Amino acid sequence: MTGITNIDIAESIIRRKTVRSARLAYAIAALSCVVYFLLSLFVIRPLNGALLPLMQRFAASVTADEATAAELPGILTDIVEYVFICTVPFMLAYIAFLFLHGRDPEPGTKHGAPRMPFLYIFGALGISYALNLIVNLLFSAAGDRFLPKEQALPVTAAGIIIYFAEVAVLPALLEEFAFRGIILKHLLPYGKVGAIVFSSLLFGVLHVSPPHTIFATAFGVMLALCYDYTRSIRFTALIHFTNNLISVGLDYAQEFGNPATTVLLNLFVYAMMGLGIFALVYYIRNGIKKQKVSFIRPQHTGAKLSPVRSLLHCFLNTGTIILAGLYCYIVYLVYFR
């Protein structure tokens, strides 16, 4: 019978360290979203009450137009609140990851844009839109319960510009930095499958509404795959911005457009879905990479978890369980209470 060698002992120690480190990393990622929700529940309302009067005075001081002065305070307050709750939790997570790992993970070999980048951008959107259509059909039995609350869109030039920055530009930058630039980056050393699935699910959960959560999770997978190849958030931020830009355009077209505009928008969305199906087939057959190379360096822990074990540890940890309970509670408060 073969005895246990020093190499076997060393490999066993490395595996145990990897498992412990992975559990902590997945818990840190989940707890960052817990902090996000707690700030949303207990800090945003008092912050709103303090900021809104300041923004009203600021708007009155920079413009004499009454319509602009009425629109700007709410938008500016929303921007400050969004930046706060999208920055604090994930910077805390980044600090925790640095304590856990000692340094940033090796980035691996960076590539440029994926094969046929414009196809990837609009294909990723089309796949997500197709899934969103299926999800909306499944949730149609719930009626209007999960529909977003209607909000008046800005109509002044200054209001539109700042609103565009709020809903299209800032989310593309801050959310990509948080979910791809921090969470996904620090989970990839433990295995690609667990990192992509878990970071995308966290991205979806923060959208709260169950239909939006499913759509955002699918969209997050497309963004995570792109980041895994490029190792940069520049291209993922461009995809995210494109999605937000289309969403803002659809909102304004539906609000102020005519029936012909609505027909054109529906045709555009279905065309995107068709392009998404084509892109899915294309990338399954040809891959996202322009060349077949290995681009992931050995990570600092010395071993990777199998896909099954990485998924097991990312879902069965204290942080994820707390997040799941808090998410269910918030969905109950918002949609069922």
Structure confidence at residue 300 (pLDDT) = 44
* 250 vs 269: CA distance, rounded Å: 10
Distance (Å, whole) CA 231 – CA 227: 5
Residue 148: how many other CB atoms lie within 10 Å: 9
Please give the pLDDT value at position 296: 39
Closest CA to 305 of 181, 187, 199: 187
8 Å CB contact between 253 and 261: yes
pLDDT of residue 4: 58
In which region does residue 209 sit, left (phi positive, over 0), alpha (psi from -120 to 50) or beta (all else)?
A: beta
Per-residue tokens: 223: 């963004």
Global pTM reads 0.87
pLDDT (0 to 100) of residue 107 = 54
Residue spans per domain, the chain? 6-335
Let me know: does 51 contact 77? Beta carbons within 8 Å.
yes
pLDDT at 2: 53
pLDDT, one tens digit for every residue, the chain (337 residues): 455 565 545 555 556 677 788 889 999 999 999 999 999 999 888 888 888 899 989 888 888 888 888 889 999 999 999 999 999 999 999 999 998 877 766 555 556 667 788 888 888 888 888 888 888 787 776 656 776 777 778 888 889 999 999 999 999 999 999 999 999 999 998 888 999 999 999 999 999 888 889 889 989 998 998 898 888 888 899 999 999 998 888 888 888 877 777 778 778 888 888 988 898 888 888 877 654 433 334 344 445 677 788 888 888 889 999 999 999 999 998 888 7
Q: For the chain, how big is the Rg over CA atoms in Å? A: 22
Q: How far apart are CA 2 and CA 336, in angstroms?
A: 62
